[in-house]
Amino acid sequence: MKQFLFVNLCAFLLIACAQTKFESETDLPPFADIHLHFNWDHEELLSASEAVAILKKHNVVLASVSSVPSHYALKLKEAGGDWIVPLATPYYKAGNRLNWYFDKTLVSKIRSLLETGKYAGIGEVHLTAGIGPRRDNPVFVGLLDLAKEFKLPFLIHTDASDHRYFLPICKKYSTVRFLWAHAGSVLGPEQLEPLMQACPNVWLDIAARDPWHYDHFAHDDYTLIKGWRELIIKYQDRIVTGTDPVWNAQNIYKWYEADQGWFHYSKFHHFHRNWMKKFPEDIEEKLRLTNAQKFFGIKGR
């Protein structure tokens, strides 16, 4: 009982501190956050309405969200409005994050979700080289086929040491518009550039390239590490970003705990605003807002 009270007291203090910060926000230029999650273990600590309030405090006018289970993304849209874009995820229930690609009924389940017209894409879908799923896994391939059939974007997360792991996928499905989560996770500009050149249907998602997650992107003064600025300028029309508000993301043994990521939203958000400011105004606006509007075909609120 004491442990339960302590955990809840900590959660209360986090919410109070977060709300104080959000209430002190000044007017900010509009921002599109294209990598959000609102999962069952987020809702243990805050409601969908509270998450929407956090987005509004930071002047987020367009937001893309994937959730576990998928219908939790609809909760965020119901609380906020049509400026929130829900994606259908293969993690349709808590606990199938690591084995979804063995489920022979999953493709039909996702088809049913897409047929409702409530979801504007598929993802986030995780592939880890050497672990799974294989790129020819029939369930994974079935999801790609659905994206092609419904003409919907696909948020893909690959963990591999080389861009050639993703290359055959984006080339084979050349009509599918991919958001490459976290800009290839651990990959640097020298790995991203050849894939961006080979697959014009791929857009980079810079989410979670912050010091608390993947890092290897910017220095303490928000200037970009060598190679990134040149890559972003070259592909400035195909780059978007988001916050990916998850916590304990680098420690898989803490995934069982309620996710406090939304309480860290402010520092994720402002990290991205600060590195973007290093670019000319027209490029900064693309990265911050208009590229996402173009990608989803939605202006936002």
Burial label for 1, CB within 10 Å (0-12, 13-18, 19+), is exposed
Q: Is residue 200 part of a domain?
A: yes
Distances (CA, A) of 239 to 79, 121, 192, 208, 211: 28, 17, 12, 14, 19
Place of tokens 């029309």: 237
Q: What's the pLDDT at 3?
A: 42
What string of pLDDT tens digits covers the 301 residues of the chain? 444 334 444 444 444 444 434 444 558 999 999 999 999 999 999 999 999 999 999 999 999 999 999 999 999 999 999 999 999 999 987 778 889 999 999 999 999 999 999 999 999 999 999 999 999 999 999 999 999 999 999 999 999 999 999 999 999 999 999 999 999 999 999 999 999 999 999 999 999 999 999 989 999 999 999 999 999 999 999 999 999 999 876 666 566 688 999 999 999 999 999 999 999 999 999 999 999 999 999 999 9
Nearest to 236 by CA among 293, 287, 176, 172: 287
Indicate the number of domains in the chain.
1
Residue 92 belongs to a domain with what CATH number? 3.20.20.140
Q: Is residue 301 part of a domain?
A: no
Q: Is residue 72 part of a domain?
A: yes
Q: Is residue 201 part of a domain?
A: yes
Q: Is residue 169 part of a domain?
A: yes
Burial label for 221, CB within 10 Å (0-12, 13-18, 19+), is exposed
Q: Is residue 10 part of a domain?
A: no
Q: Name the token pair of 71.
A: 């219908």
Rounded to whole angstroms, how far apart are CA atoms 232 and 109?
A: 37
Which residue segment(s) compose the domain that 66 sits in?
33-296
Nearest to 88 by CA among 108, 118, 63, 62: 118
Rounded to whole angstroms, how far apart are CA atoms 111 and 73?
A: 17
Nearest to 238 by CA among 179, 154, 169: 179
Q: Is residue 22 part of a domain?
A: no
pTM: 0.90
Q: Is residue 291 part of a domain?
A: yes
Q: What's the pLDDT at 156?
A: 98
